[in-house]
Structure 1
Amino acid sequence: MLDEQLTNEALGVLFDAAAPASAVRPWRLDVNGHLIDVYLDGSHALPAHDRAARALLIASGAAVFDLRCAAASLSFDSWVSLCPYRHEPDLLARMVVEPTGLPDQELRSLYAAIRSRHLTRPPAAPTEAVRFALTRAAELENTALSWLPGPFAPLAVLTTDRDEPADQVAAGMALERVLLTAVTYGVATSYLHHLPRTDLS
């Protein structure tokens, strides 16, 4: 079954979900059966501003997370391996989707938030319940969210244990999960990218 090609309808849902992750799309998707490879598209590199391509990998990681949400919306389960081959540094993620009928329900619920992520919302300080939900969202992607006081609103700093390419892609996945979770709580967010960390305010 897994060697059968995904339908055009399913591919449309998956590709449309990944598109809003970044204004610049530094990735390309290769599909073979139920295997989706996410490659870094070097034509979008900005070496003068991001020599380590960290921002590009984070944006690509966000797209990978959106693909997972879209797969869940189609009742697919999904498994992701980050930077699986050292000899293929441009292969950022390999995702397998399987129509098990047992999708991750939380990913499925976050799929609806993808389209509304950029809607304008009134600023408001996050409640303790919201902070807990956002911190948990980061932890589900094996990252950490630390809260700091800010001049107008609290700052949440997203960190990974290491700073390898796989960690940067993972940071993008976690960042997207945090942002989409914030949408479900009606919380306005913006994020700042500073080397070597990503800040979410």
Structure 2
Amino acid sequence: MSEQLPKEHVDILLAAAIAAPSMHNTQPWRFEVEGHVIDVYLDGSRTLPAEDPTGRAMRIAAGAATFNLRCAAENLGYGTWFGLAPYPEEPDLLARVVLEPTGARNDDLLDLAAQIPYRHTDRHPADATPLADDVRVALLQAAYAEGAELTWLGETEVHTLLDLVLDTDLREIHDWHRRTERSHWVGGERTADGIPSSALGPRSTSYPAAVRDMGTRPADRLRDERQFEERPELAILSTYFDDPADQVVAGAALERVLLTATRAGVSASFLNQPLEYDDLRTKVQRLTQRPGNAHMIIRFGRTRTHTGTARRPVADFLPEEQS
């Protein structure tokens, strides 16, 4: 085994990692490569202090990036083993991934690697076709494989959740910190990070709706209106514990779920605003009727292919001497 990963392999691995979702597409990761070890760090310059004061969403994003890295490694012929939050004295170091050439293949990771370029957050209306039972089961199994739990919501729970969305919006009316922070990352034309206006999707004709209206600018609030599904397919992703490592686990589970959905022709978007308040987050978890800590509220559906959001160049995520 060579002492250092080939640069072209590093580029492929990190391009896959940074394709992962992150809150407002902040891409809050940085990487260090030493030999066959890739360390995944949080990038403290890309925090969301108003909407994500504890950094939980950043750690979920880092977990998703780590999962993509593992999939891409499999595609390059490497096996991986990893540790989460390995050093308490380095809180920004969330995962250490070791890559070794192997002839044994993980067919599931290899298959999911092919879905990475096609996964994106889809804020458009879904058709009325319910998800097939085998797809639902596959998504449950994907979350479980990474140590998390996915719970589908029934009609009553969906209505309760939409009430929590309304509660969140009412709280935000006078919270200029949140609005200002979001406007920094959302809207306009963007070619490297954040959410451009073109990816916001239409506004819903009804309110509250099972889609988050991310619009922050006057022009974005004049987008076309569409009717969204009356019976949205919503699920809650949770873990039993809520330490930083558990949040990274939630991110890995999230990305395995999303790539599994993409493989099945199913898109996803997020309705996470109630999770930004501790008391509402507790209420969201109660909807699952299980102990644990809610990390993501995911809306699934079948829609046409739409444009995703851009990513920064791989070199931006590496120390200058490694880029």
> Normalised by the shorter chain, which TM-score bucket?
over 0.9
Matches within 5 A, 1:45-124: 45-118=47-120, 123=127, 124=129
For the aligned residues, what is the CA RMSD?
A: 1.6
Letter of the 1:180 partner, please give it: L
- Any residues of structure 2 matched to 1:11-50 within 5 Å, and which? 11-22=10-21, 23-50=25-52
Which of 123, 145, 151 matches 1:140? 145
Cross-structure match for 1:186 = 265
- CA distance in 2 between counterparts of 1:178 and 1:119 reads 13
Unaligned regions of 5+ residues in structure 2, if any?
A: 159-229, 282-293, 300-323
Q: 2: distance between equivalents of 1:158 and 1:94?
A: 24
State the alpha-carbon separation in 1 of the partners of residues 55 and 17 from structure 2. Answer: 19
Highest CA radius of gyration, 1 or 2?
2
Which structure has the highest strand share of the two? 1
CA distance in 2, matches of 1:119, 1:143: 21
The residue that corresponds to 2:256 in the other structure is: 177
Give the superposition deviation at 1:119: 8.2
Aligned to 1:131, which of 131, 136, 149?
136
Could you tell me how far apart the structure 1 residues matched to 2:67 and 2:261 are? 15
- CA deviations on 1:56-89 (whole Å, 9 max, x unpaired) are 1111111001000000100111111110111111
**How far apart, in 1, do the equivalents of 2:44 and 2:96 lie?**
18
239, 254, 257: which one aligns with 1:160: 239
Provide the C-alpha distance between the structure 2 equivalents of 1:6 and 1:105, rounded to a whole number of angstroms.
Answer: 22
Kindly indicate whether residue 300 of structure 2 is the aligned counterpart of residue 199 of structure 1: no
Q: Distance in 2 between matches of 1:184 and 1:76?
A: 22
Paired AA for residue 19 in structure 1: I
Give the letter aligned to residue 10 of structure 2: L
Percent identical across equivalent pairs? 49
The structural deviation recorded for 1:47 is 1.1
Task: Give me the whole-angstrom Cα distance separating, in 2, the residues matched to 1:17 and 1:125.
Answer: 30
Q: In the alignment, does 2:7 pair up with 1:8?
A: yes
8 Å contact from structure 2 (residues 150, 237) kept in 1? yes
- By how many angstroms is 1:15 displaced? 1.1
Q: 2 CA distance for matches of 1:44 and 1:152?
A: 36
**Structure 2 counterpart of 1:144, one-letter code:** E
Using the size of structure 2 for normalisation, the TM-score is: 0.59
Task: Tell me the equivalent position of 2:181.
Answer: none
Q: Output the amino acid matched with 2:44.
A: G
Q: For 1:163, give the aligned amino acid.
A: D
How many Å apart are 1:184 and its aligned residue? 0.5
8 Å contact kept, 2:271–2:298: yes
